[in-house]
Amino acid sequence: MSKSRWVLVLALVAAVLAWSTLTWAAGPAALNAGTANSFVPGEVLVSFAPSTSPAAIGALHAAVGATVTGAIPGLGVQVVRVPSGAEQAAIARYEADPMVRYAEPNLIFHATYAPNDPYYAGLYNTSSAGAINQYWLPKINAPAAWDSTRTLSTSLMVAIVDTGVDYNHPDLTAKVARNASGAVIGYNFVAGNADPKDDDGHGTHCAGIAAAATDNATGVAGASFNSVKIMPVKVLDATGSGTLTNVANGILWAANNGAKVISLSLGAGSYSQTIQDAVTAAWNKGTVIVAAAGNDGRQTISYPGGSLYALAVAATDETDATASFSNWGIDIGVAAPGVHVLSTMPTYSVYLNTQYGYFTNYDSLNGTSMATPVIAGTAAMLMANDPTLTNTATVQLLQRTADNVAGTAGGGWDIHYGYGRVNSGNAVAKVYRSATAGSFYGQVVSAAGTPINLATVSAGGVSYKTGSNGMFRLANLPVGTYTVTAVSKRYGTTTAATMTIVPGADVVLKLVTPK
């Protein structure tokens, strides 16, 4: 297919998935203690073996530099004071001693918020997945995030660059960005007008995942609660297809009109410099670009997910296993639920209803398309909650607070999950998982800005040879400072400034060769 005819298709599952029907139990009560997202500074709990003498216990406390301040007598647990910031070192010192059963921080527990949207916890009979609820929101620890963000209501916009949005849907109309005259802030690049109405259904579903009106006693909840607005940008037609031109224009339009996060649940199999340039332009405006990994179940990432500065999202299921359809590879940055995701559908009949039998109003879909707005909505909420966050800091925050469901050594990166399945509550609270490794991830380009094939990128004794898209990953390097070098026989050698690994996250680099 020629570049002029290059067509992008929705990142929906191409074939019917053989998933069994799941029924989800009723959700938590409105107040449900037990989500820990912080700890008391300078306090550690220590439990000793029953036979340990008071003298030995006192000697160990002295060696650690701790002072006993309290106890839980029924459990044989002592509360000790250590210098603030030294909690983890003290815990490691205690647990290295055989007379200690365990040591842990004095966690702070919060009542977690459960919204009154009926299908958040209650069951909805979907067209293909049976009776389900929004299991994925508790899965990503969203209620803990909502404890501190549910009162936020900002004008920060997350752009759904897709098939459009049913902006009159009762669960979306109050969340769609509008100007002073009440007109929707959005655009339709398929029709060339300012009406981004959805005629497929996919965009409306993604919009609800990211930012459905929440706690409104209607339908479903959104990942971002009510903290942000939806910008609908239609670049795909009623069948879910669209041109490279439309997608590039949509990315640029969204960034130029104030979107802080762009959600791209679409993809094509070939690298495009035009798409890369559009993503780069949006990134340079401070926008977070989130894109689907693709649904071929193989080691290749769809574009723009595989583009520099795009955060590629893999899909997981109800058990945190990688979804069978989810693509994987060096570009994966993070994962999110993408199986049996219940969300909004247009209130009128569209292509997904007439051709595939999906329901109007609400239904469940599968795909990395669904995982993408989970991340996009969460990213938008983080930026609304902390306006000082840059796009780089937001991406790294998502990665550093994700749950290490792959069990990667050192809390590092995994080829299927990236840095793990997103944990919304930890991201809002900035509770980082324990990590001692991170990655340099990026692209090698010529002086003209085009990708360099077969360049060797090296740092810390680790090397990677780029493919035709110029992308590389030096994965799971120990935390430290490195010099990153790219060598190309044809285009010369370039060396990045000395760079420091961020534990549990990517440091994104563009290496420009001399020629």
Q: Which residue is catalytic, options 263, 369, 446, 488?
A: 369
Residue 220 shares a structural domain with residue 365: yes
pLDDT of residue 79: 94
Q: What does pLDDT average to over the chain?
A: 91
pLDDT above 70 covers what percent of the chain?
92
Q: What is the mean pLDDT of residues 402-429?
A: 97
Domain match, 334 and 370 both: yes
**Given 61, 110, 169, 202, which residue is catalytic?**
202
Mean pLDDT to the nearest integer, 445-463? 95
Q: Is the pLDDT of residue 24 over 60?
A: no
Give the pLDDT score at 39.
81
Is 117 domain-assigned? no
Residue 497 has a pLDDT of 82
Reported pTM: 0.82
pLDDT digits (tens, 9 = 90+) for 323-354: 999 999 999 999 999 999 999 999 999 999 99
The answer to whether 362 touches 220, Cβ cutoff 8 Å, is yes
Taking the alpha carbons at both ends of the chain, their separation in whole angstroms is 30
d(CA 437, CA 475): 8
Same domain (yes/no): 315, 185: yes
**Would residue 393 count as lying in a domain?**
no
Distance CA 306, CA 441 (A): 11
Active site (annotated) includes residue 458: no
Q: Of 109, 136, 163, which marks where a domain is finished?
A: 109
Q: Which of 429, 460, 486 is the last residue of a domain?
A: 429
Q: Is 61 a catalytic residue?
A: no
Residue 135 has pLDDT above 80, yes or no: yes
Two tokens at 328?
């994987």
User: Would the pLDDT of 248 be above 60?
Assistant: yes
Confidence band of 103 (pLDDT split at 50, 70, 90): very high
Query: Is residue 215 situated within a structural domain?
Result: yes
User: Are 48 and 145 in a shared domain?
Assistant: no
pLDDT at 485 over 90: yes
Give the model's pLDDT for residue 14. Answer: 34
Residue 375 domain-assigned (yes or no)? yes
Domain of 138, in residue numbers: 3-30+123-382+413-429
Q: Is there a catalytic annotation at residue 369?
A: yes
Contact 339, 19 (CB under 8 A): yes
Q: What's the pLDDT score for residue 51?
A: 87
Domain annotation covers residue 389: no
Band (pLDDT 50/70/90 cuts) for residue 15 is very low
Q: Considering its fold, how many domains does the chain have in total?
A: 3
Give the Cα separation of 134 and 215 in Å (integer). Answer: 14
Could you tell me what percent of the chain has a pLDDT over 90?
86
What's residue 109's pLDDT?
63
Structural element, H or E, at residue 245: helix 244-256
The active-site residue, picked from 61, 117, 162, 343, is: 162
What is the per-residue pLDDT across 375-385, written as a single tens digit (0 to 9) for each?
999 999 999 99
Compute the average pLDDT of residues 57-80: 92
Task: Identify whether residues 146 and 21 lie together within a single domain.
Answer: yes
pLDDT score, position 97:
95
pLDDT tops 90 at residue 10: no
> 54 and 11: one domain?
no
In 3-state terms, what secondary structure has residue 481?
strand
Query: CATH no. for residue 316?
Result: 3.40.50.200
Using one digit for the tens of pLDDT, what is the confidence trace for 360-414? 999 999 999 999 999 999 999 999 999 999 999 999 999 999 999 999 999 999 9
List the single range of 18-22, 166-170, 199-203, 469-473 with lowest mean pLDDT. 18-22
Verify that 268 and 163 share a domain, yes or no: yes
Same domain as 419, residue 277: yes
Both 134 and 90 in a single domain?
Answer: no
Is the Cα dihedral 30, 33, 38, 39 positive or negative? positive
Q: What's the pLDDT score for residue 108? A: 67
CATH number at residue 87: 3.30.70.80
Q: Is residue 391 part of a domain?
A: no
The per-residue pLDDT for 28 is 23
Domain boundary among 85, 109, 133: 109
pLDDT (0 to 100) of residue 38:
66
Are both 235 and 371 inside the same structural domain? yes
pLDDT of residue 110: 53
- 270 domain residue, yes or no: yes
CATH number for the domain spanning 499: value is 2.60.40.1120
135 and 178 in a single domain? The answer is yes
pLDDT per residue as tens digits for the range 164-213? 999 999 999 999 999 999 999 999 999 999 999 999 999 999 999 999 99
In a domain, 100, yes or no: yes
Same domain, residue pair 163 and 24: yes
CA atoms of 377 and 196, how far apart (whole Å): 19
Helical spans, DSSP H, in 157-234: 202-211
